[in-house]
Structure 1
């Protein structure tokens, strides 16, 4: 049986995957949702710390694993997910060695990456534009370390691991133009007519797409 590991993005927690987990389990998959230490009520560390948590969770799984990385989650997954069957980047960052979120967005590395990184100015619109219960989703958001955004990765598993990029065509957070550039690093590109969080706005459709991707391998 294939296990699908779901890695959340910035300001989020594993609970963001609840609806998608139900859909995937209905299709016969096991799911694992690690909690990244860079996000939480009292977040700590950077993307390397997140990668260590992901690697430990992967090492505890028997059998085949497919990793789905959402948004920021693509950074520590790119560092950590060697040896998995496939990485699915869901509106996610896909860094190469030496890159961080800053450099992927064409910005210089910050001189100071201490403290927390603020939420988007209008998180409801940026993250959940087509989510029915967007207010509840916003209420679940937590702190995120600035250091996680500034981390430069030391390995890029997409050079060796099969990868798919899912572009969210109505995204108001990570622009479609940036996503399409990042998607050039994946072997396979798919599209969803959703905003930034299809696991909340269309979990059944996303589960179906994940199943199609996995079944094609």
Structure 2
């Protein structure tokens, strides 16, 4: 992707577990209104045998295709492969952790919840029960059900693979706390947000890119302008 004469950074949007690039479409439309360029990835751990490190490789490949500076927006599980990938890229100005796992070297998603690594990490984690409430509680029910119907099984290895790098230690980061989140409650987000340089809050459930795309786009636009520290 070329710069197209725009000096503002592009946004690379990285989805969470069970999701795909499809979930960003309302936000991408709103971001175009803010004059921001966007790119997305489909993390292979949703639906294939790939783990977190393969996801990180896909993120790194996407960053290599973008000309100019980039702000990476990572949602939920997507924060883990982003944290792993970004140190190997030279064009990331900032990471935005959107209700995301901002973990450190040696940590993994299971450990965050105090769970042991599985003896057999192969196989898939099914879509959680009642995803409409868990992920999309502030969306109209028909829209929430439509989104839930697009979710895919998640490879279990992505939850047990451990970080060997922590990008937020060397790259500026911002955390966006989703205050009404039922999947990753706000207190858990705030504990991780202490690792970020700046913190913002949005009164939304776990998926503001679907429920509050205009509000989230406005916030990301300000961050993309460099007004976030």
The residue number in structure 1 matching 2:102 is 94
- Output one character per residue of 1:89-130: Cα deviation in whole Å (capped at 9) or x when no partner: 000001100100011222222222110012222111000000
Unaligned runs of 5+ in 2: 1-5
TM-score by length of 1: 0.96
Shift, 1:214, TM fit = 2.0
| Residues 1:107 and 2:115 aligned together | yes
- Output one character per residue of 1:33-91: Cα deviation in whole Å (capped at 9) or x when no partner: 01111013xx1210100000000110111101000000000000000123311000000
Residues of 2 paired with 1:6 and 1:180: CA distance? Answer: 21
The residue number in structure 2 matching 1:63 is 68
Residues of 2 paired with 1:107 and 1:38: CA distance? Answer: 20
Moved beyond 3 Å, runs of 4+ = none
Residues of 2 paired with 1:113 and 1:175: CA distance? Answer: 26
Unaligned runs of 5+ in 1: none
Q: Structure 2 matches for 1:89-168, cutoff 5 A? A: 89-132=97-140, 133-168=143-178
Residues of 2 paired with 1:111 and 1:96: CA distance? Answer: 23
Count of aligned pairs between the two proteins: 215
Residues of 1 paired with 2:101 and 2:161: CA distance? Answer: 12
Which of 52, 62, 65 in structure 2 is aligned with 1:47? 52
SS at match of 2:125: coil
* 2:97–2:174 contact (8 Å) kept in structure 1: yes
Shift, 1:177, TM fit = 1.4
Residues of 2 paired with 1:183 and 1:165: CA distance? Answer: 5
TM-score by length of 2: 0.91
SS at match of 2:127: coil
CA RMSD of aligned residues (A): 1.0
